[in-house]
Structure 1
Amino acid sequence: MTVKLENEHLVVEIHEHGAELRSVYNKEHQIEYIWQGDPKYWGRHAPVLFPIVGRLQDNQYTFNDQTYYLNQHGFARDLNFIVVAQTPTTATFELRDNPLTKSLYPFSFILQLRYTLTDDDRLSIEYYVSNAENDPIYFQIGGHPAFNVPMDTTSKFSDYYVNVDPVKKYDRINLIGPYSDPKHPSEFDAHIPLRLRYDDYKDDAIILGLEKETTSLVLATLFESHGVTMELENADYVGIWTPYGKNAPFVCLEPWWGLADTIDADGDLTHKFAINKLDGQSDFSGKWSLTFF
């Protein structure tokens, strides 16, 4: 089932499968901002990453001396959520633990995603993780929205850039294969706009450490005719990605509360780098938004 949110300018579609954002359409300019999932390049739109971000060493981890197998980015993107609240401009999707999730991830949880479309063409996305048990749970979560680039017929991929604010030098977390190397960051200088070039993604995503600082990214052309602003309220990292070697007409801006296993990970989930520990009877929230122009 697809849920539709709408205001004067935009129509937003979110599918219950994965609670995935599938479309943001500008009615006046007839612009589709969200990548439409051509499998020739990448068959998804904006998957939700939970309970891990990235890949585990050998796609497995241990907890309480038991081994569990979990594919890249976890299972939430491949399961159906339930719509638990809806208005013309808001929708809340929910996923709870079940026998399938328990076979992959031995924790009880409630995961909610709340989408809110406002009159200023902002789409707010809120993640809520609840632990109703007494023992702590361990998890990561993130978004993976892909945006059409170019967004019109008068520009090309290399006309676009990403600006990051605050304008400063960030730690860039490098990847070695699919695994992260946070002990040896390089420097990303946000004083210089990131011009989109396919060769920059030869080693996968560009990952910046944000340390939960409020951060915004603007994806636009040099002429700024149309684009997207992403605002991150409390994210730990943001990834910028397009598949290398495919000349794909999209780019992803990805807010993350987590990171792929490190190159020296020992496999114990409680030791995992950038893992979130949520104590019993506690809640977690992660918030970000998109503004379309």
Structure 2
Amino acid sequence: MAAIVVEDLPYKTYLLSDETTQAQVAVVPERGGIITSWQIQGQELFYLDTERFKDPTLSVRGGIPLLFPICGNLQGDTYTLNGQTYKLLQHGFARTLPWEATQQSTTNGASLTITLKSNEATHEGYPFDFELNYIYTLKGNTLELRHRHTNLSQTPMPFSTGLHPYFAVVDKSKLTIDLPSEQYQLKGDATVHAFAGAFDFDSEEIDFSFINLTGQSATVVDAARQLKLTIGFDSSYSVLVFWTVKGKDFYCLEPWTGPRNALNTGEHLLTVAPGETVETVITMTAEVASE
């Protein structure tokens, strides 16, 4: 049975739950539309830096920050469009602006729609009128994130979109990771490296952008927590980023539709025609890991 409850924690928080699987998701629209928590049978799947979360002047590290209209950074934090130069900071503005909860339903899982509309602030770095409607649905042990991007401008609207989920981990050496790629690039380097199939978690930082994807899902088995996570994504997504920092109890596995600097290079950019909507979908399923 699905349910939605609203609480103040300290921001207005929508708690989506599925009682049959003892699953719950927490959504905070005003804090960048972020999902801060996903619990299954009492286990928390996400990492969250609570002190940064409480400070509205700081970006959130944890949960699922939303990436739009770019993923990663632009070269020099700028791009040129129709002869004019614009500035956008890393990952864009969607994760820092307040969203609004606009619709909810419990008829087929617990579902919440959050909305972000263009305004004067977004026009400074992104000269398009748009409406984003992101639909979060919890059904059983699956969390679906359906992202609808509507172009309200008179010209085609280029963009990238993605997620930056922070998954909690107690022992990274107990992770078994299966990715649909054998090639990756490092930040700021176009060189394509062959992936050996395992990460060196003794490194100070791992920041690999996996490209040339051969499938539309990735799995992580956490033997220490007896959890298996499967992330599925539609064919719009062309990059899968794995990021972690030594000594921090998280790893990030991030589906991106386009790579860094895509507004300058045009690589794997999505484009919405005037008056049209482009939809992308990501699913996350958690289960007890098989022995």
Deviations 1:179-199 (A, max 9, x none): 351xx312235xx4x356141
- Specify every segment of 5 or more residues in structure 2 that has no aligned partner in the other structure, as ranges: 1-11, 53-59
Q: How does 1:199-218 map to 2 (within 5 A)?
A: 199=203, 202=205, 204-211=206-213, 214-218=215-219
Structure-2 change in CA distance of 1:134 and 1:111 (3 Å): same
Does the 8 Å contact 2:46/2:62 carry over to 1?
no
1:35 aligned to which of 23, 47, 62: 47
Deviations 1:127-147 (A, max 9, x none): 111113331111111100011
Give the structure 2 partner of residue 98 of structure 1. 119
Does the 8 Å contact 2:66/2:95 carry over to 1?
yes
Structure-2 change in CA distance of 1:180 and 1:129 (3 Å): farther
Structure-2 change in CA distance of 1:39 and 1:217 (3 Å): farther
The Cα shift of 1:49 comes to: 0.6
Q: Separation in 2 of the partners of 1:130 and 1:270?
A: 22
Q: Separation in 1 of the partners of 2:240 and 2:81?
A: 27
Q: Separation in 2 of the partners of 1:46 and 1:127?
A: 14
- Specify every segment of 5 or more residues in structure 1 that has no aligned partner in the other structure, as ranges: 151-155, 263-268
Q: Secondary structure at the match of 1:77?
A: coil
Does the 8 Å contact 2:47/2:166 carry over to 1?
yes
2:70 aligned to which of 28, 47, 52: 52
AA matched with 2:17? E
1:149 aligns with 2:172: no
The Cα shift of 1:282 comes to: 2.2
Q: How does 1:211-290 map to 2 (within 5 A)?
A: 211=213, 214-222=215-223, 225-234=226-235, 235-243=237-245, 246-261=246-261, 269=263, 271-290=265-284
Does the 8 Å contact 1:36/1:44 carry over to 2?
yes
Give the structure 2 partner of residue 197 of structure 1. 201
Does the 8 Å contact 1:239/1:256 carry over to 2?
yes
Does the 8 Å contact 2:111/2:136 carry over to 1?
yes
Does the 8 Å contact 2:79/2:264 carry over to 1?
no
Q: Separation in 2 of the partners of 1:186 and 1:275?
A: 23
AA matched with 2:259? L
Q: How does 1:132-143 map to 2 (within 5 A)?
A: 132-143=152-163
AA matched with 1:53? C
AA matched with 1:124? E
Does the 8 Å contact 1:161/1:196 carry over to 2?
no
Give the structure 2 partner of residue 24 of structure 1. 38
AA matched with 1:205? D
Percent identity (aligned) = 26
AA matched with 1:238? L
Count of aligned pairs between the two proteins:
262
Does the 8 Å contact 1:81/1:93 carry over to 2?
yes
The Cα shift of 1:69 comes to: 1.4
Does the 8 Å contact 1:114/1:127 carry over to 2?
yes
Q: How does 1:79-94 map to 2 (within 5 A)?
A: 79-88=97-106, 89-94=110-115
Give the structure 1 partner of residue 194 of structure 2. 187
Does the 8 Å contact 1:209/1:238 carry over to 2?
yes
Q: Separation in 2 of the partners of 1:206 and 1:146?
A: 15
Q: Separation in 1 of the partners of 2:168 and 2:100?
A: 28
Q: Separation in 2 of the partners of 1:145 and 1:196?
A: 20
**TM-score, normalising length: structure 2:** 0.82
Q: Separation in 1 of the partners of 2:270 and 2:75?
A: 18
Q: Separation in 1 of the partners of 2:63 and 2:201?
A: 21
Deviations 1:15-63 (A, max 9, x none): 102111100112x3x21111122569x7332110111111111111222
Q: Separation in 2 of the partners of 1:117 and 1:5?
A: 7
AA matched with 2:38? V
Deviations 1:163-217 (A, max 9, x none): 125xxx5331232xxx351xx312235xx4x356141x64x42211255x64222
The Cα shift of 1:223 comes to: 7.0
